[in-house]
Amino acid sequence: MTLASKSISTTWPRTFKAEHFCHSESLPTINSVPPEVFIEILSYLKPNSDHGRRYYQNDCSRAEIIPPTHVCQLWRQIALSTPSLSTHINIKLNSRDGTKEVECLTSWLVRGKKCPLFIDLRCYGHCAALEQSAWDALLVLAIQHSYRWREASFESPLPTNLSAVRNNVPLLQTLRFPRCDIAPPNDFETAPMLRSVTSTFHHNYGQPISFGQLPWTQLTNVIANDCSTLSVLAMRQMMPNIIDFLAYCSGRPQQPEFSIPRCLCLSKLQSLDLSGEIDVDDLLDCLELPSLASFSFWEHFDTPTIWSTSLLSLIHRSSCYNVDTLNLSPERCCESEEPSLDELIRATPKLKTLDLINETGDTRHWDCSKIIQALTASPICGTNPYPAPELEKLHLGYAKDFQVQAFVEMVESRWRVEGGGPVKRIHSIYLRYVPDTSIFDYMTMGRLRKFAAEGLHIRVDCVEWLDGREIEHRLL
């Protein structure tokens, strides 16, 4: 080693260390971060109450997610001393005696002090005596703080007595009772802030009975499970301010004692979502919805209906030409009448999202190729309006009459458009349930990949059977 190299080897580490320590002193330590910043960060780790399917707390823990109180001493101190971080309470009763769950709920209620609560209690037991007592203990504890409830959700096969909340829910805005046996049923008829309700509405001769009295006239968002067509109509007649309505209907016979009204106008309804075994054509024929912007229909009825014609008639009758979202399951339609889906597309010039998912691939009752043809933005339209000129998102389900070339031409006509023209550029296209990868040859896939490289969000999924299971994988 030369003198020069030795000098470098001995001086460089010393210089590096000096600079390192100099810069380290200028960097803030974790302890110097203001508590307000930590509180803001920790607020993003609270359970997501807006999404009903995500639950961080299971058996009074947050499963695989580490609670902020378990990261370090500093985080624990800040989390425990900030009431707003303990307001989203999700408890699932698993143990028969409920001791741990009650302790957990007690702790969170104390931490939250006087802050509004977002509370979610669940029990999946089978009416065992011990489970009932544990469930009752949780309810009693939660009800003591009902004056703080902002959102409340209860789900259990066990009898659920909430009578003590009557006239004591001044802040309650959202109430959820999916698959829950409520007794007595009229505890929430005096809830001045209540706007959103989710429940199972059992019906008797067309009238919802399991939920009793609600402040119907002030409700704006309702999700109704297990109801009939007449139950849907009965509820709507009581909700003049309804904005968003979702109903899953069971296939129960209608009662002749109740007749469907000729016309029911809901001037504020913007979103209508229907699914299950429902007489949707009869339902749509008696409605007038001038503010309708989104319509979803997922058919599970053995008897063919003429829902597409009824929907088209509803749009013209209500003059609701600002519909921007259609989610449809076009699997069946009356064989004596054309589904008119292409006419439906032309009747919705503001349409931005179109979802036509045909999971069966059965085209006996609707024409996939005709839909693709109707969506193709072609100069042959001439002076006639282009179909769905503002379409941004398109979801299609593969069907037996699917034509690859026509599909690619439609994609290109929607993607390669001139700015300021009569048709806006589409953003996203999704094709599902393609049964065979060979349907798209090399040249076709090359064109689609080129569109994707140019910025189009396009996805094609193939489906195959493996060990008796349907497996879907991405082709593009």
Residue 186 inside a domain? The answer is yes
User: Rounded mean pLDDT of 100-110?
Assistant: 91
166 vs 361: which has the higher pLDDT: 166
Residue 94 inside a domain? The answer is yes
Question: Does the pLDDT value for residue 354 go beyond 80?
Answer: yes
Cα distance between residue 215 and residue 195, in whole Å: 9
Render the burial of 303-316: b for 16+ CB within 10 Å, e for the rest: ebbbbbbbbbbbbe
* Residue 245, strand partner residues: 222, 272
Cα distance between residue 57 and residue 92, in whole Å: 7
Residue 368, CA atoms < 13 Å, CB-side half-sphere: 26
Tokens standing for residue 200 = 């199972």
Cα distance between residue 335 and residue 343, in whole Å: 17
Question: Does the pLDDT value for residue 179 go beyond 80?
Answer: no
260 vs 106: which has the higher pLDDT: 106
Q: Which domain holds residue 64?
A: 58-205+212-219
User: Rounded mean pLDDT of 212-221?
Assistant: 86
Residue 451 inside a domain? The answer is no
394 vs 35: which has the higher pLDDT: 394
Residue 412 inside a domain? The answer is no
Question: Does the pLDDT value for residue 369 go beyond 80?
Answer: yes
> Which region among 329-333, 370-374, 447-451 has the lowest average model confidence (pLDDT)?
329-333
Residue 340 inside a domain? The answer is no
- Band the pLDDT of 298: cuts 50, 70, 90: confident
Considering the entire predicted model, what is its pTM?
0.81
Residue 92 inside a domain? The answer is yes
Give me the number of domains the chain comprises.
Answer: 1
Tokens standing for residue 205 = 């001769």
Q: Give Cβ neighbours of residue 274 (< 8 Å, ≥ 6 apart).
A: 232, 246, 247, 249, 280, 283, 296, 297, 298
Residue 154 inside a domain? The answer is yes
What pLDDT is recorded for position 183? 56
Average pLDDT, the chain: 79
43 vs 288: which has the higher pLDDT: 288
Find tokens 């807006």 and name the residue: 50
Residue 69 inside a domain? The answer is yes
Question: Does the pLDDT value for residue 291 go beyond 60?
Answer: yes
Find tokens 């509370």 and name the residue: 119
User: Rounded mean pLDDT of 45-70?
Assistant: 51
Q: Which helix (H) or strand (E) holds 13?
A: helix 3-26
